[in-house]
Amino acid sequence: MRNSTVSKRRPLEVLCTACVLVFLVSACSPERDGAVDRLLMTEADPLTRSEADNSLIRELQRDVDQYREEVESALRAMGNLANAHRLLGMRFLDQRMYGPALEQFVAAADIQSENPTIFYYIGVAAGLHAQAATETREREIRLEQAERAYRRALELRPRNAPAAFGLAVLLAYELDRPEEALDYINRAIEIQQRNDRAHAVRAYVLTVLGRIEDAIRAYDQVIEHATDTETRNTARGLQQELRSQWP
């Protein structure tokens, strides 16, 4: 009779044991352990788990359990705030409010510091905002900011055609550094070979550098890839002007 009772209880005991194991596994989940490890790394004297005493680990585990949802909520809120800055920055750009747009993109970059597209738009906004500067040094500072932003965008994403194009335009038209501009406009064309605007900038840079024959050929590329008649006709006119100067 006793054996029968034990036999009947065993499934229930097994189930309870399984529940306890599940609880223990969830209480010591990789996510929780990882959070504790990160807290140990940021102690005044950084520790590994093997170096920490059990009382400290238990204290940190309680903190993780208590604040996990608040941490996740703060992360979500910060991501939403970055999106708000980006959206507002784009709206300001649409309205040609370049100073406020620049402020919003910089604020977004403070949150999403490895987003190459944000740095591209910082470059765009800073370059355009420089045109409104009333003092030479103010203009220089904004152009320097634009250059740094474009270069950062390219560091984060080397095959970034818009950033390469933007930096080339900045170097060629604003900073009077055509040799450097040629390197970046060539990079932009390598990525987007049918970009008529990039070929037009390349033709301009080659003209400034005195490479007239190369510039004439570059205008051929503008004409070939132009998506509108006005661009094509402008390129033909500039090309014809260069041919008249070419011996």
Contacts of 210 (CB under 8 A, 6+ apart): none
Q: How many CB atoms lie within 10 A of CB 149?
A: 29
Q: What are phi and psi of 121, to 5 degrees?
A: -70, -25
CA distance 44 to 58: 18
**Read out DSSP for 189-201?**
HHH-TT-HHHHHH
Specify the pLDDT at position 30.
Answer: 60
Q: pLDDT band at residue 59, thresholds of 50, 70 and 90?
A: confident
Q: What is the pLDDT of residue 159?
A: 97
Can you give the residue range of the structural domain that contains 187?
A: 158-247
What CATH number is associated with residue 220? Answer: 1.25.40.10
Tell me the H-state helices in the chain.
Answer: 2-27, 30-41, 54-94, 98-111, 116-129, 136-156, 161-169, 178-191, 196-208, 212-225, 229-245
Average pLDDT score over residue span 40-55: 85
What integer best gives the mean pLDDT of the chain? 88
Report the distance separating Cα 167 and Cα 123, nearest Å: 8
Domain membership of residue 186 (yes or no) is yes
Asked, for residue 28, whether it belongs to a domain, the answer is: no
Contact assessment for residue 88 and residue 104, using Cβ atoms and an 8 Å cutoff = yes
- Asked if residue 30 belongs to a domain, the reply is no
> Per the structure, how many domains does the chain have?
1
Q: Is residue 162 part of a domain?
A: yes
Burial annotation 162-175 (CB, 10 A radius, 16+ → b, else e): bbbbbbbbbbbebb
Query: Residue 12: is its pLDDT beyond 80?
Result: no
Answer whether residue 187 is part of any domain: yes
pLDDT value, residue 6 = 40
Closest CA to 169 of 228, 227, 120, 103: 120
| Residue predicted with more confidence, 18 or 202 | 202
User: In the numeric block, which tokens belong to residue 97?
Assistant: 């409010």
d(CA 157, CA 179): 22
Instruction: Tell me whether residue 141 is in a domain.
Output: no
Residue 115 has pLDDT above 50, yes or no: yes
Global pTM reads 0.79
100 found inside a domain: no
> Could you tell me what percent of the chain has a pLDDT over 90?
67
pLDDT at 19 over 50: no
* The dihedral formed by the CA atoms of 241, 242, 244 and 246, expressed in degrees to the nearest 10: 170
With respect to residue 27, please indicate whether it lies within any of the assigned structural domains.
Answer: no
